[in-house]
Amino acid sequence: MENISHSLFGAALAGATLPRDRSPLRRRVFYITGLLAANLPDLDLIYTRLTPPPLGYLLHHRGHTHTIVGLVALAVVPWLITLIPRVRKEIGDALGRYWLLVALALASHLLADGWNSYGIHPFYPLSNQWLYGDAVFILEPWFWTLLGVAVVLNIRYWRGRWLLAALLGTLPLIGLAIGLFPWPAVALLAAVGGVFILLLRPLDEARRSVIALVATGVFVLLSFNLNEAAVRQIRRADPDAAARTVDLILNPRPANPLCWDALRLTHEPDDTLLISQKSIPLPSAASPACGANTSLAWTTLARQPLAELRQLASENCSVNAWLQFARAPVISEGNISDLRFGNSLRGNFTTLRLDAAAAECPPYLTKWTPPRSDVLGD
Ligand SMILES: [Zn+2]
């Protein structure tokens, strides 16, 4: 999840946990703590350079700091903040609420990152397995609207209020201009945002925040329901392929949960990994939501011989490490890429060049369970 949404979660949680008795400084301590704790796990971006690219980013980002143990360790930062005498005095008798805010904001980061197809491995070191929500796109304007309205209304200074409102209002328009969001979705976002402003304006800070968080929770629950509907539809339409399916990677379109993009990985009888793609309108009558240029039938993207992957993994230390991340691995033209992030065989941010240097073991590797150990073996 991008950091605007993480920050909105942190700010909404601060608004919800603030004690009734609040000085301006106490408010500031709670808001800064909420924003900080909700973004702290992404501190791992500082040390991704320990391992050469692209492995450093793939293995260390959403790595150790995105685990339950990592969150407990990160709680040291807000604890250190409480040691500043002035801050300690402002928190005063609200220390319980302060720690509730820290716990919720840290947890919100891990949860929100777990909702998309990128994955997290929260139970490390007990389990090194990746978990994927496959239910919310990594950038979701519905969060900007549902949480954003409450956070904007809660800002006391008109300059800050208008600045955030302008940012949250402009981002969907930029998405619309570059073709990322369809105009009916942006129009609906604006309408819901307008209703939300009328609804939340008369309420107090805590109520606004709680309602925004509950509405966001409902959106996420609906997204998980739609994910299940998509999985059911795919399995029912082709039971033979369902039996050979090793993974289904699902993503709703951003701002547009009526259209879902699916990658299906099947283990074929000739020991190849067949990766195909299609879009699924939900409900099926909503096919215009997927746009005119979208294939509603399965299209083959790649057929990857597994023997080639297994051999490469045993000979090439970088590939072996890279497979700790890749969910849809494909070798093409001297590169290996994860097709989860763009279906072009020309590559994406995951692409690893298969040259002699890559055979050397890079430093500081991790121990995440390779998502495709189901067909590659350990
Ligand atoms: Zn993160």
pLDDT one-digit tens code per residue, 331-359 = 998 999 999 998 666 788 999 998 866 67
- Residues 75-102 have a mean pLDDT of 95
Give the total number of structural domains in the chain: 2
Confidence of residue 161 (pLDDT cuts 50, 70, 90): very high
The tens digit of pLDDT for each residue in 90-132 reads 999 999 999 999 999 999 999 999 999 999 999 999 999 999 9
Measure 349 CA to ligand 1 centroid, in angstroms: 17
| Separation of alpha carbons 272 and 86, rounded Å | 63
Q: Residue ranges of the alpha helices (H) in the chain?
A: 3-17, 24-39, 55-60, 68-74, 76-82, 85-91, 95-114, 141-154, 158-177, 183-200, 205-237, 239-244, 306-315, 317-322, 356-359, 373-376
- Residues 242-263 have a mean pLDDT of 95
Do the Cβ atoms of 180 and 252 come closer than 8 Å? no
Give domain status of residue 211, yes or no: no
Residues with CB under 5 A from ligand 1 (ion): 41-42, 113
Length of the chain in terms of residues written: 378
Measure 203 CA to ligand 1 centroid, in angstroms: 32
Measure 142 CA to ligand 1 centroid, in angstroms: 18
Tell me, yes or no, whether 110 and 237 share the same domain: no
Measure 136 CA to ligand 1 centroid, in angstroms: 14
Domain final residue, candidates 98, 123, 148: 123
- Residues 205-224 have a mean pLDDT of 98
Give domain status of residue 219, yes or no: no
Domain final residue, candidates 123, 139, 156: 123
Give domain status of residue 85, yes or no: yes
Bridge partners, 131 (sequence order): 120
Among 70-84, 149-163, 284-298, whose mean pLDDT is lowest?
Answer: 284-298
Do the Cβ atoms of 113 and 160 come closer than 8 Å? no
Bridge partners, 250 (sequence order): 262
Measure 84 CA to ligand 1 centroid, in angstroms: 27
Measure 273 CA to ligand 1 centroid, in angstroms: 30
The tens digit of pLDDT for each residue in 134-144 reads 999 999 999 99
Confidence of residue 291 (pLDDT cuts 50, 70, 90): confident
| Separation of alpha carbons 282 and 266, rounded Å | 23
**Whole-structure pTM value:** 0.95
Cα 273–chain centre separation: 26
> Above 80 in pLDDT, residue 58?
yes
Give domain status of residue 360, yes or no: yes
Bridge partners, 120 (sequence order): 131
Do the Cβ atoms of 68 and 39 come closer than 8 Å? no
Buried-state track 28-47, b at ≥16 Cβ within 10 A, e below 16? ebbbbbbbbbbbbbbebeee
Q: What residue has token string 């430093």?
A: 363
The tens digit of pLDDT for each residue in 203-213 reads 999 999 999 99
Measure 271 CA to ligand 1 centroid, in angstroms: 35
Domain final residue, candidates 123, 138, 166: 123
Q: What is the DSSP letter of 280?
A: E
Give domain status of residue 212, yes or no: no
Please give the structure tokens belonging to residue 73: 């360790």
Measure 118 CA to ligand 1 centroid, in angstroms: 10
Measure 119 CA to ligand 1 centroid, in angstroms: 10
| Separation of alpha carbons 299 and 302, rounded Å | 9
273 by Cβ neighbours in 10 Å (0-12 / 13-18 / 19+) ranks as buried
Give domain status of residue 260, yes or no: yes
The tens digit of pLDDT for each residue in 318-327 reads 999 999 999 9
Give domain status of residue 159, yes or no: no
Give domain status of residue 158, yes or no: no
Domain with 260, as residue range(s), is: 227-376
